[in-house]
Amino acid sequence: MQLLFTFINVGFEGSAHDITVWNHCLTVPEFRFPHPPPGKYYLVDSGYPNTVGYLSPIKEKDIRTHLPEFRNGPPPQGMLELFNYLHSSLRTTIERCFGQLKGRWKILTMMPQMDTKHQLAIMVDTFTLHNFIRLHELDIPIDSGIEIEPRADYDLFNENRKVVMKEVQLNIAKEIWNVL
């Protein structure tokens, strides 16, 4: 597992909602957001739309979606919950990647007072160095004590795209369920 960051956008206030930042990245052509190729998708959390190229958990009444809900309750009940359990388990890999980044680069958790331009450059540099270290398999220790080409017609909120991705969700859930 590479644990690499594919795209970052620094500069938004910490209070900005994830979907606001995401929409901005998708709609500004200069960012050249790397959409997944056809037939592939990014794993996204429940705050994002389930649309072609972006696979979110199944959001239905009485269906658990987050790992803590499974840890504090019975095992997954049915194929939809099993899908969500496995989806949530994979999401922890993303969190682990951020944990490695913060563990290696303490400056990210204790940013010194300086102008914003320099703070943003530090953030970009640490992400870049993280990927370089991972790609070149450099054995640089991580402090584990501290717990990643745009298309003009990309409309993530189009209902047809949501229907297609809903079908992908259900097909994956059925395949997993049938293996058990």
On the question of pLDDT at 117 being above 60, the answer is yes
- Indicate the pTM of the whole model: 0.71
> Which pLDDT band holds residue 129 (cuts at 50, 70, 90)?
very high
Give the pLDDT confidence score for residue 145 in this predicted structure. Answer: 45
Q: What pLDDT is stored for residue 93 in this prediction?
A: 86
Q: Considering the chain, what is the average pLDDT of its residues?
A: 84
What is residue 156's predicted lDDT score, i.e. its pLDDT? 57
pLDDT at res. 92: 85
**The pLDDT of residue 81 is above 90:** yes
pLDDT for 148 equals 32
Domain boundaries, the chain: 18-179
Task: For residue 100, count other CB atoms closer than 10 A to its CB.
Answer: 18
Number of other CB atoms surrounding residue 144 within 10 Å: 11
Q: How far, in Å, CA of 36 to CA of 43, rounded?
A: 10
pLDDT class for 176, splitting at 50, 70, 90? confident
Distance CA 176, CA 79 (A): 8
Looking at residue 77, its pLDDT comes to: 93
92 exposure class (CB count in 10 Å sphere: 0-12, 13-18, 19+)? exposed
What pLDDT was estimated at residue 127?
Answer: 94
pLDDT score, position 125: 95
SS3 readout for the chain: CCCCCCCCCCCCCCCCCHHHHHHHHHHCHHHCCCCCCCCCCEECCCCCCCECCEECCCCCCCCCCCHHHHHCCCCCCHHHHHHHHHHHHHHHHHHHHHHHHHHHCHHHCCCCCCCHHHHHHHHHHHHHHHHHHHHCCCCCCCCCCCCCCCCCCCCCCCHHHHHHHHHHHHHHHHHHHHHC
Determine the pLDDT at residue 167: 86
